[in-house]
């Protein structure tokens, strides 16, 4: 009987010490009704506790066109679109961990950086800026590639 109890206690102890293994959730697409995607993709995908946002450009969905082809107008619209996608994902800019900024014109870095600093005045995620990107359109000057983390 003592042997049986000892085995039972050891078995219960070992079972209690086993790490809990959870099955990861499958990726989940996030689509934003107020800001339809401009192609065959989701505006964001959540996977593994992170939310990967598709390229955020300066498309004004209400007007049905891109913001004026100057970096100030386009940066402002791109940041507004970023807020829209983040909100639809249940996140905010404080959840952003990495931003890649793509610019058509390298000379646009300074004015974009000023607006970027205003947008991220309270939080500074990691960032890379890639100048000289050509989308084959004159009305696209900036694109934001963003990764956020769900807490």
Just give the CATH number of 26-149.
Answer: 3.30.1330.40
Question: Which among 33, 118, 41 is positioned nearest to 79, based on CA atoms?
Answer: 118
**Does residue 63 register a pLDDT over 80?**
yes
Is the entire prediction scored with pTM above 0.85?
A: no
Query: What separation, in Å, do the N-terminal and C-terminal C-alpha atoms of the chain show?
Result: 49
Strands 44-47 and 28-30: antiparallel
**DSSP-derived 3-state class of residue 7:** helix
Question: Which among 149, 144, 141 is positioned nearest to 70, based on CA atoms?
Answer: 141
Rounded to an integer, what distance in angstroms lies between the CA atom of residue 67 and that of residue 80? 11
Q: What pLDDT is stored for residue 79 in this prediction?
A: 98
Rounded to an integer, what distance in angstroms lies between the CA atom of residue 45 and that of residue 53? 7
**Does residue 17 register a pLDDT over 90?**
no
């Amino acid at each position: 009987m003592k042997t049986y109890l000892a085995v039972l206690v050891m078995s219960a102890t070992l079972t209690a010490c086993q790490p809990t293994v959870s099955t990861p959730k499958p990726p989940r697409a996030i689509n934003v009704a107020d800001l339809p995607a401009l192609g065959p993709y989701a505006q964001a995908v959540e996977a593994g506790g992170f939310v990967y946002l598709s390229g955020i450009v300066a498309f004004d969905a209400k007007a049905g066109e891109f913001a004026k082809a100057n970096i100030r107008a386009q940066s402002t619209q791109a940041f507004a679109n970023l807020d829209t996608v983040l909100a639809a994902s249940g996140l905010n800019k404080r959840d952003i961990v990495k931003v890649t900024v793509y610019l058509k014109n390298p000379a646009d870095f300074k004015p974009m950086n000023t607006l970027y600093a205003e947008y991220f005045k309270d939080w500074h995620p990691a960032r890379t800026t890639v100048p000289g990107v050509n989308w084959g359109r004159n009305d696209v000057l900036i694109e934001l590639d963003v990764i956020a983390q769900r807490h």
